[in-house]
Amino acid sequence: MEIWINPACSKCRSAVSLLDAEGADYTVRRYLEDVPSPDEIRAVLGRLGLEPWDITRTGEAEAKELGLADWPRDADARDRWITALAEHPKLIQRPIITADDGTAVVGRTDEAVRDALGR
């Protein structure tokens, strides 16, 4: 199990605390420092069953600067979104937990983190 976190994020700290309390075996990836490649983002999206715009923090200043609100959300634009996430990792929703069964969850709630633990 791996968890992508931003240590400054309260949701990330809460998820890590819950994983620790449950005695989970996991590794931490500080994705702002260890930036995922486009291929890694594609793999996580596949595990999540989501599209890149589904895990994009569109309220961030960088998203506004890039004009993401106006970007199409379709198959033709998918690679453009993935490239933006790789080039601006702050835009990636957090925390993302890759579960042992090959799936992943966005662990913004205790329920989602527990769901990942049960997989």
Residues for the chain: how many in total? 119
Number of H helices, E strands in the chain: 5, 4
For residue 33, count CB atoms less than 10 angstroms from its CB and return exposed for 0-12, middle for 13-18, buried for 19 or more: exposed
- Single-letter amino acid, residue 15: A
> ω before 95 within 30° of 0 (cis)?
yes
By C-alpha distance, which of 31, 16, 18 is closest to 93? 31
Q: Is 9 a catalytic site residue?
A: yes
Q: Measured in whole angstroms, how far is the alpha carbon of residue 108 from the centre of its chain?
A: 10
Q: Which of 9, 32, 43, 50 is catalytic?
A: 9
Catalytic residues: 9
